[in-house]
Structure 1
Amino acid sequence: MRYKNLFFDLDDTLWAFSRNARDTFEEVYHKHELDRYFDSFDQFYAIYKRRNEELWVEYGDGQITKEELNSQRFFYPFQSVGVNDENLSKYFSDDFFAVITTKSGLMPSAKEVLEYLAPRYNLYILSNGFRELQSRKMCSAGIDSYFKKVVLSEDLGVMKPWPEIFHFALSATQSELRESLMIGDSWDADIVGANGVGMHQAFYNVAGRTKFAFRPTYIINDLKELTGFL
């Protein structure tokens, strides 16, 4: 096979971010007895998720800093129900970040597939996540040893899908574009981004997307499908 270098997204491609994050939020929600303020955990989490998605777009566009992203996304749910307690928000966010890095849930077959690929390819992580979290999450899940390098958007100050982060990752890992494949679950960040610099892509279609602006190099519905062509 022509590929030598495989670039993996981390969250919801290998590490089960959606499940691990929800579990963490629920654990910290009950620790702080937030039923005092919210009708249910589901109400709290729906409020958080909606605003969090908006703030990540603003962060990716350079409109807010990392610090503003983190302070606003945790404070917003409290503000939305009339609780203007910044200290409570800070305690909640501190507990969240302490707990989430201990979660070890992986996407189906992730470790099995990495075990197969690691002796055959150079494996790298290319993620928009924060450095203080990503490495610890990988260690907790027992997958850190499979990767030769972790490249994060924070290293450059530019997030996927911008082309600069892909060029930076290729340079940092001394990888040739024509020998590299991007594997990820985010259509916009991973697939559109890689396609934009001419890198082949394997779209992990976790959400069951049916409409595509272009045909990615590969579409997989299970990580095990990677072993069929790699």
Structure 2
Amino acid sequence: MAAEVTTVLFDLDETLCEYIRSGVERLAEAFERADVEPYFTYDEYVREVNEVGGTESDIRRRESCFVKLARKKGFDESIGLRVADAYEALTDYTEMQLLPDAEQVLDTLADQYQLGLVTNGGPDTQSPKIDALDIRERFDTIILAGYETAAKPHPEPFQQALSEFDATKEQTVYIGNSLSSDIVGANKYGLQSVWKPHARSLDDVNPTAKPTSSSVEIPDYQIDSLQDLTERPWQSE
């Protein structure tokens, strides 16, 4: 008999909320402001930054990634710094909006489960978002992965979250939009995974349709909207 779920963990960006202006839009404008021909895509940036850990700020980590990508493409590091400065000037971490039904779903699930937030990013970027959205008090624990722990998909942030709860892996569900960090991370650690694709997500491809997909990329459940969580898909079996 499957263990009863007692704990539900969420990703933040593009799972519960989104920037009013997407990262893709801001990066395109940053290249324009810096008067630099685009030399990498937002997809390439995210994949690069997810591999970088440590306790440095997200802003410094972004600078490092922009510089590293500049070097890879044969540009001087000053080009990367120029684009990074322009991107930061265009980014307001309080200009966030909750996705439809996010508040209702969090309220509904809080009546039955312990709730946690496990998000990649440090306090300089994630704390302003959480406070602007006024959702800090909705979670029993908040883990800033990539700052307090290794970044997802590393198991450490999930392990840290469970240490805050009286729950086992089998009793825990993780909900996220990214196959590469959320679903792979949750699956490898042994949590039940729920994939909620987002229109802006970089890897929004049905994993079961990809012939090269490994088992760790395939979520236990897939939902179309946060509202679907009120049906508690993990109880359907």
Tell me whether 1:37 sits opposite 2:24 in the alignment: no
Tell me whether 1:5 sits opposite 2:3 in the alignment: no
CA distance in 2, matches of 1:182, 1:175: 13
Identity of aligned residues (%): 25
Q: Which residue of 1 aligns with 2:230?
A: 227
CA distance in 2, matches of 1:193, 1:49: 21
Q: TM-score, normalised by structure 2?
A: 0.72
CA distance in 1, matches of 2:132, 2:159: 29
Question: Cα–Cα, structure 1 residues 227 and 53, in superposed 2: closer, same or farther, change >3 Å?
Answer: same
Matching residue's letter, 1:95? A
Instruction: Give a deviation string over 1:194-228, Cα, whole Å, max 9, x none.
Output: 22222111111332414253353211121111111
CA distance in 2, matches of 1:224, 1:151: 24
Q: Which residue of 2 aligns with 1:188?
A: 180
Tell me whether 1:71 sits opposite 2:84 in the alignment: no
Instruction: Give a deviation string over 1:139-161, Cα, whole Å, max 9, x none.
Output: 11232221121112235441222
SS in 1 for 2:97: coil
More helix by share: 1
Contact 2:58 2:125 in 1 (8 A): no
Q: TM-score, normalised by structure 1?
A: 0.74
CA distance in 2, matches of 1:66, 1:216: 28
Instruction: Give a deviation string over 1:120-151, Cα, whole Å, max 9, x none.
Output: 32111111222221121011123222112111
CA distance in 1, matches of 2:188, 2:80: 41
CA distance in 2, matches of 1:217, 1:105: 27
Question: What's the Cα RMSD here?
Answer: 3.6
Q: Which residue of 2 aligns with 1:209?
A: 206
Instruction: Give a deviation string over 1:57-77, Cα, whole Å, max 9, x none.
Output: 5415x8x99676322345567
Q: State which drifts further: 153-162 or 115-124.
A: 153-162
CA distance in 2, matches of 1:124, 1:180: 10
Deviation at 1:88, TM superposition (A): 4.8
Alignment of 1:38-53 (within 5 A): 38=36, 44=38, 47=40, 49-53=42-46
